[in-house]
Structure 1
Amino acid sequence: MRERPPELHLERGCGVRRIGPGELPGFESVRAACGELLERARPLVPRMQAAAAGKSQLTLDLFSDDLHARDRRFVDFALQDSVLLPVVEYLRTAPFLARLSLPLSLHVPGLPLPSYQQRFHLDNDDFRLVKLIVNLEDVDDDDGPFTFLPEDVTRRVLSALRRENGALRRSLAFDDADVFRHADPSELQALRGPPGSAILVDGARCLHYGSRVKPGRQRPVLGAVYLRHARLCENSSSQFDPPGEDLDPLRKRALRSPRPRPRGYFLRDVLADAEASASRSTISSNGRIA
C-alpha cells in the first residue's frame, strides 16, 4: 500500500479536512462517468420527483447497488489510499464503506425552507464517522452547498442547547435561530468551488445542513460515508457484492458490511425506474400495448 500523502490528514478535535481540485487521483474519470448519469437523469427529474416523497424529493440518488456491481470505478475511487488511509487514521480502525452515492439536490417549490436535511443536524449512524463529499460541478451559495460548523463550534452550540433543553437526541434537527443564538453566522463554512473541491468531515460531530437549493439550480456531488463496523445505528446503505481476491485485506474489509443485505434492499434505482416509466408512457402514447 502506498504511503498516504502527509497533507491529507483529518485531525480529531477538528473534524474536517478540505481537499482542493486536483488532489484526488482519478477524479476526472469518475466525474465523466457521473456526467453521463446526470445527462440521462436531468430530463427525467420531474418524473423522479413525482415518484419520491418527503426528503427524497430534495435529493435524488442516481447511484444504485446494481451500478456498483457493474462498474467498479466509483468504489475504487472511494477506497483509494488518498481517502481511505486518512479515514483509517481518524477512526482508528478499518472502516466499511456504508454509502456511495450521487445525490442530485433540487429546489422543491412549496416545501417549507428549511426542511429535512436542510436543517442543522448530526448524522446518527455513530458517534464518530467520516463523510467524503466532492463537488462535480461549480458550486456557489445558490446551489445549496454542504454547510457546516466546525467541531469546536458544534460542541459550544450543543452544550448551550443542553443547558437550555436538557438531553438532546442524536436524531434531532435544529432551527437556524436556535443554532445562531450560540454561534455567529460567520463561523459557518461551506463547500463551494469548482469541480473536484472536496471535504472529509465528521458528520457525527459537526452540525451541518445541505440542499438549500435556489429555484432553477441543481447540485450534484459524489458522496461516501465510512463507518466503524461497531456502528451505533443502521441506516440506509449501499450493498456491495463480496470483494474479489484482487483486493488487499483493508479494502476487502471496507466492502464487508456488518449486516449484509441483498442488492437494492435499502435504495431503489430511481434512474432506471424513471427511464422504464418514460418508456412505458411513450409506448402508450403511440397507441401500442404498454
Structure 2
Amino acid sequence: MTTINTAADQPAPRKQRISQFRRILWHVNRTDLGWVLKAALSALHLPARAKRVARLNQLPTKPEWTEASRKLAEDGYVDVSALVDRNLAEAVAAVANNKVSRLNELSGKQQLGHKSFWVSLLDEDLVNGAFATDHPFVRYALQPAALRIIGDVMHDLPQLSDVLLTLSQPTPKQPLSYSQLWHLDHDDKRVCKLFIYLTDVQDTADGPFTFIPAGPSKAFRNSLKSHLSDAQVFAKTGPDVVKEMIAPRLSSFIVNTARCLHMGSRIESDRSRLLYTATYIQQPRIFPEPPPRFRAVGALTELERAVMRL
C-alpha cells in the first residue's frame, strides 16, 4: 500500500424514493453504455457547449495548473495544496470549526441520515435546498485554479453540483457500509471532486481518503455491484496499487471519482476526520437536473453563473 505524504442520538434515517426511470439510468451509467447516452445528450446541446468552452477559455492559465490537469487526466488524481487559495481555505476552515463546536445540535438536524459513520454539517445553511453564492464553501469551489484544472480535463467548463462538509467518526462495532466500501461515483460520466482536509490525517487510523489510480481502476469500470469489499477489490488488483491521502490540515486534492475506485471514513482511532467536498460534473447532466443547489447573492460573473447554472 502506497502512502502519499502531502503539505446525541440521531433520528431514524430517511429513505429516499428513487423512480424506476432513475434506477434504469443509474444502471446504464455504470457501464460503457453511459458514454453513448452522454454523447447523445451532448449532441443535442452543441450551442450551449460551445458557450461553455468559450467561457472556460476566458479563465487564466498557469504552467503549474496545466501540469496539474495533465496529471489529473492521466492518473485520475492530483494534489493541489500549493495551487489553491490559502485564504479561501482558511475561510472554509473557520466555518467548519464553528459547525463542529455545535456538533450535538447539528447532528440531530441533518437531512441525510443513512450513513451512521459521518455527520453532514451544512444543512442549516440551505434556504430551500440552496447555498448562497457568497458562502465560503461555494467561493472555494469557484476559484479559477480549480475550475481551470478540472475544466481542462473535461474539455468544458465544469458544473458545480454540490458542496459538503462531513465529520467522520469511529464506529468500531458496526460493519463497513456505503462509502467505507470501494466504489466509483456515478453522478455522471465525468465527475471530479475537490477535497480539503480540515483536520490532520496522520495515518490509516484516521480514515484517509483511499483510492486506486485510474489505470488499475479500469478493471471495475463495468461492475454492476455498487460497493465492493477489500477482498473483492484485491482479488483483481492486489493491495500494492492502493494509495492513501495522508496529509495535514488544509491539504487539498482533486480526484476523478468516476475513474478512481475509492473509499474512506474508516476511522479506527479515537479521532475524527473533517472533510470539505465540492463535486463537479460535465453538462448536460445524464440524470434529470435537480432543484437549484445555489442561489445568487451579490455580484457574480457570467462565468460563475454558468458554473452554477444560475
TM-score tier after normalising by the smaller chain length: 0.7 to 0.9
Once residues 212 and 48 of structure 1 are traced to their aligned partners in structure 2, the CA distance between those partners, rounded to angstroms, is: 23
Q: CA deviation at 1:10?
A: 2.4
Once residues 242 and 23 of structure 1 are traced to their aligned partners in structure 2, the CA distance between those partners, rounded to angstroms, is: 23
| 2:63 paired with 1:6 | yes
Change (3 A) 1:193 1:136: same
1:187-206 to 2 correspondences below 5 Å: 187-206=241-260
Once residues 155 and 242 of structure 2 are traced to their aligned partners in structure 1, the CA distance between those partners, rounded to angstroms, is: 28
Q: Determine the structure 2 residue equivalent to 1:270.
A: none
Change (3 A) 1:21 1:15: same
**When the two structures are superposed, what TM-score results if normalisation uses the length of structure 1?**
0.74
Secondary structure, aligned partner of 2:156: coil
Aligned residue among 186, 189, 196 for 1:134: 196
8 Å CA contact 2:122, 2:164 repeated in 1: yes
Aligned residue among 232, 246, 249 for 2:286: 232
Q: Determine the structure 1 residue equivalent to 2:81.
A: 20
Secondary structure, aligned partner of 1:133: strand
Moved more, 177-186 or 143-152: 177-186
How many equivalent residue pairs? 243
Q: Determine the structure 1 residue equivalent to 2:223.
A: 168
Change (3 A) 1:46 1:226: closer
8 Å CA contact 1:20, 1:196 repeated in 2: yes
Aligned residue among 92, 115, 135 for 1:30: 92
Once residues 184 and 120 of structure 1 are traced to their aligned partners in structure 2, the CA distance between those partners, rounded to angstroms, is: 13
Once residues 139 and 97 of structure 2 are traced to their aligned partners in structure 1, the CA distance between those partners, rounded to angstroms, is: 18
Q: Determine the structure 1 residue equivalent to 2:232.
A: 178
State the one-letter code of the partner of 1:54: H
8 Å CA contact 2:83, 2:145 repeated in 1: no
Q: Determine the structure 2 residue equivalent to 1:84.
A: 147
Secondary structure, aligned partner of 1:37: helix
Once residues 263 and 290 of structure 2 are traced to their aligned partners in structure 1, the CA distance between those partners, rounded to angstroms, is: 18
Once residues 46 and 95 of structure 1 are traced to their aligned partners in structure 2, the CA distance between those partners, rounded to angstroms, is: 31
Give CA-to-partner distance per residue, 1:61-91, whole Å, 9 cap, x none: 1113238328522211110011111111111
Q: Determine the structure 1 residue equivalent to 2:210.
A: 147
Unaligned stretches of 5+ residues in structure 2:
1-57
8 Å CA contact 1:10, 1:200 repeated in 2: no
1:257-272 to 2 correspondences below 5 Å: none
Unaligned stretches of 5+ residues in structure 1:
160-166, 258-290
8 Å CA contact 1:61, 1:102 repeated in 2: yes
Give CA-to-partner distance per residue, 1:146-188, whole Å, 9 cap, x none: 1100000111x327xxxxxxx522x621111111122232221
Q: Alignment RMSD, CA only?
A: 2.7
Moved more, 67-76 or 247-256: 67-76
Q: CA deviation at 1:99?
A: 1.1
| 2:141 paired with 1:75 | no
Q: Determine the structure 1 residue equivalent to 2:301.
A: 248
Q: Determine the structure 2 residue equivalent to 1:275.
A: none
8 Å CA contact 1:59, 1:105 repeated in 2: yes
8 Å CA contact 1:21, 1:195 repeated in 2: no
State the one-letter code of the partner of 1:192: I
8 Å CA contact 2:107, 2:119 repeated in 1: no
Q: CA deviation at 1:95?
A: 1.9
8 Å CA contact 2:99, 2:121 repeated in 1: yes
**When the two structures are superposed, what TM-score results if normalisation uses the length of structure 2?**
0.70
8 Å CA contact 1:125, 1:234 repeated in 2: no
Q: CA deviation at 1:116?
A: 0.9
Aligned residue among 164, 168, 181 for 1:105: 168
State the one-letter code of the partner of 1:201: V
Q: Determine the structure 2 residue equivalent to 1:94.
A: 157
Q: CA deviation at 1:235?
A: 9.2
Moved more, 97-106 or 213-222: 213-222
